[in-house]
Amino acid sequence: MSSLRLLGAVELALAARRSPASPRSTGKSPWAEAAAALTQPDETLGVTRGTLVCSQVFYGRRRVAGIETLEATLRFLASGGNVIVTEGRNLGLLESVVRVEMRSHRRYGRREFVVVTAAPSLVPAPSS
């Protein structure tokens, strides 16, 4: 039984080290810092992958909206959202909905992250 407790303790310690909201974290990610710099404290950031939502602290205490579908992306943009964090592999799908300007491009291991903005005049009107 004690080996199970030890294994559990090791797993918790490893999870705490990897957690972006962990007090022992080395800081915000470069894409989170870029996204926070492009918004005001009362604005909401869009994030196209649930695992990137993390905590509000990770994105400079900004509100973070998960926009994992094209419909959710359109609703986010129509509601005034402008800054979106996505993985590089999803950029083409996002560009099929709205023209975006890349504001930050970072690699994290094998993963690529981009922060984009959409000009308000380029955001399509929501369909009813």
What distance in Å separates the CA atoms of residue 107 and residue 34, rounded to the nearest whole number?
A: 13
What distances in angstroms separate CA 119 from CA 54, 63, 78, 90, 94, one per listed residue? 26, 20, 11, 19, 14
Residue ranges of the domains in the chain? 27-122
Please answer whether residues 32 and 85 qualify as being in contact, where contact means their C-beta atoms are separated by less than 8 angstroms. yes
What is the tens place of the pLDDT at every residue in 79-113? 999 999 999 998 988 888 888 999 999 888 888 99
Neighbours of 125 (CB within 10 A): 8
Predicted pLDDT at 52? 72
**Domain at 27-122: CATH code:** 3.40.190
pLDDT tens per residue, range 38-83:
999 899 999 988 777 765 557 778 888 989 888 999 999 999 999 9
Q: Give the pLDDT confidence score for residue 21 in this predicted structure.
A: 43
